[in-house]
Amino acid sequence: MNPMMNKFRLKNLPLSRQILILFMLLTSVLGIGVGIVYPFAVKHYLVNNTYALLEEEFYTLSEHIAFNEHNELLPVPAAAPYFLQLLLSRYEYSFDMIVFSADGHVLGKRLTDNLSYEDTVDLFRGASSFPRNRLQHGTLERGGEDYLFVSKLMDYHGFPYYLVLFSKERELNQINALLTRQFMIIFIILLLVSWLLAVWFSRYLSKPLRTLDESCQKIARRQFDIPLTMDREDEIGQLARSFESMKSQLKEYDESQRHFIQNISHELKTPIMAIQGYAHGLLEGVFKGPQAEKGLEIIMEESKRLEKVVGQLLYLTKIESVSQMMQMGRVDLAEMFSLLQQRLSVLNPAVNWELRLPAALVLEGDGEQLSTAFVNILENQLRYANSRLTITGTQTGDTVTVTISNDGPPIEEALLPHLFQRFRKGKSGKHGLGLAIARAVFEAHGGSISVRNEADGPCFTVTLPVDRK
């Protein structure tokens, strides 16, 4: 494609200009179409109405047609209604009449303009060429004039004659031109007004989009504290609200990342410093005998702690990035929680487990990952519970809901919105990764997790689809 043509493609122009150009093209095509069709439509309407008026005038005049004993036409009064006379006089429009004998002689006429002998003969030929038993419409095309006429063979006490009423088509053309000119003037005025409105409307639509563009550029520069207010209820307003929600989530994510870097630095720095300190002491001979053995034990414990933190980070990253690689299969949560009770009850023997689960609570999922997620939640609950841990499971339609609650102290209100972020933990928490891993696993399965403080203690609610598809 020619680079110049590609540069000036419509989609490369500003939205306001696209709207304006498309509206102008639409109205221009409409105007051209109307300008072409309108004169023909008006002409057709005028011709049909002219024939109707000619018929009405014909029947009115036929009642006043009379002849003397020499078959000469007696004077015919002007029978047209007064309002019709006013209408026709305004547009210089009139009806002419000629009465012919059966052999074509002119018996009488009422004309506004002179009519040539040839035109008179042709009118008779046209009138007499139709069947004689009914009123006929006809046209006479002449080099200088075109006529519309109605005619019929009449009878006056046994005397046959042709009554012909006609009108010159140029008068219709004058009326058509006048109406078309008036219409086009009005249409052009409306077109100009609509173009001005289109200019205003295109700016009205593009202004909020420019505001969104400016906000997007500010967000790209990490300026999240600039509010985006747009009082609209249409699609643009919905886009602005979605944009504001995205900005809030990006701000939260940015803060979470900074908090993550700070916490992971602290989590990794502590065991690394301990390992370095004791290793240096052993190398320098500071620790000997039992102290050396104690130092080696501390180095081993801190290295295990460091390995666990790194392992959890890698596991969390894997869950969040390759969730489509999960090994899906049939998972019975009722059976899973029974096994987890046997496995984890030794962590806090003073806590009584209450399992309120149906005989089977089956869904599609990765059993290993779901087990890891629930273990992280249960370990958290057992750490804070006083004497009771309650697990309730129900299925409603295609959704399984599991609630896990304990009778321990409530979670700090300021911590609740951030509890499932990395390295966010309570006062007695470990690494702050367990609940983040749990959330990642549930979201990878198409579910969710939330937490709230109830009267008896904290309560975690997990929702999972029965069929991940």
Tokens at 31, concatenated: 């105007």
Give the end of a domain, one of 259, 289, 320: 320
| Total count of domains within the chain | 3
Q: Please tell me whether residues 347 and 363 are part of one structural domain.
A: yes
Q: Is residue 458 part of a domain?
A: yes
- What is the chain's pLDDT, residue by residue, as a tens digit (469 residues)? 455 444 456 666 666 677 777 777 887 787 777 778 877 777 777 777 777 777 877 887 777 788 877 777 777 765 444 444 444 444 445 678 888 888 888 888 888 777 788 888 888 888 888 776 778 888 877 666 777 888 888 888 888 888 888 887 776 777 777 777 878 888 888 888 888 887 787 777 777 777 777 777 877 777 777 776 666 776 777 777 777 778 777 777 777 667 666 666 666 666 777 777 777 777 777 767 777 777 777 778 777 777 777 766 666 565 555 454 577 889 999 999 999 998 888 888 889 999 999 989 999 988 888 988 898 889 888 888 888 999 999 999 899 999 999 988 888 887 877 777 765 555 544 445 778 888 888 888 889 999 999 888 899 999 999 986 6
Give the end of a domain, one of 301, 320, 339: 320
Q: Please tell me whether residues 297 and 354 are part of one structural domain.
A: no
Q: Is residue 108 part of a domain?
A: yes
| Angle, vertex CA 157, rays to CA 155 and CA 161, nearest 5 | 30
Q: Please tell me whether residues 395 and 292 are part of one structural domain.
A: no
Say which CATH number the domain at 359 has: 3.30.565.10
Q: Please tell me whether residues 70 and 128 are part of one structural domain.
A: yes
Question: By the 8 A CB rule, do 74 and 207 touch?
Answer: no
Give the end of a domain, one of 125, 152, 176: 176
Task: Tell me which residue range forms the domain holding 307.
Answer: 235-320
Q: Is residue 461 part of a domain?
A: yes
Q: Please tell me whether residues 354 and 373 are part of one structural domain.
A: yes
Q: Is residue 222 part of a domain?
A: no
Q: Please tell me whether residues 35 and 104 are part of one structural domain.
A: yes
Sequence-ordered list of residues with C-beta below 8 angstroms from that of 450, at least 6 positions apart, any chain: 460, 461
Q: Is residue 181 part of a domain?
A: no
pTM of the model: 0.44
User: How many Cβ atoms from other residues are within 10 Å of residue 29's Cβ?
Assistant: 10
Secondary structure (3-state) at 421 = coil
Q: Please tell me whether residues 307 and 372 are part of one structural domain.
A: no
| Angle, vertex CA 342, rays to CA 341 and CA 343, nearest 5 | 90
Determine the pLDDT at residue 448. 92
Q: Is residue 410 part of a domain?
A: yes
Give the span between the Cα atoms of 261 and 241, in whole angstroms.
30
Q: Is residue 423 part of a domain?
A: yes
Q: Is residue 221 part of a domain?
A: no
Give the span between the Cα atoms of 181 and 178, in whole angstroms.
5
Q: Please tell me whether residues 100 and 40 are part of one structural domain.
A: yes
Q: Please tell me whether residues 41 and 99 are part of one structural domain.
A: yes
Q: Please tell me whether residues 155 and 283 are part of one structural domain.
A: no
Q: Please tell me whether residues 332 and 253 are part of one structural domain.
A: no
Give the span between the Cα atoms of 261 and 244, in whole angstroms.
26
Tokens at 136, concatenated: 């006929």
Q: Please tell me whether residues 285 and 142 are part of one structural domain.
A: no
Determine the pLDDT at residue 15. 66
Say which CATH number the domain at 305 has: 1.10.287.130
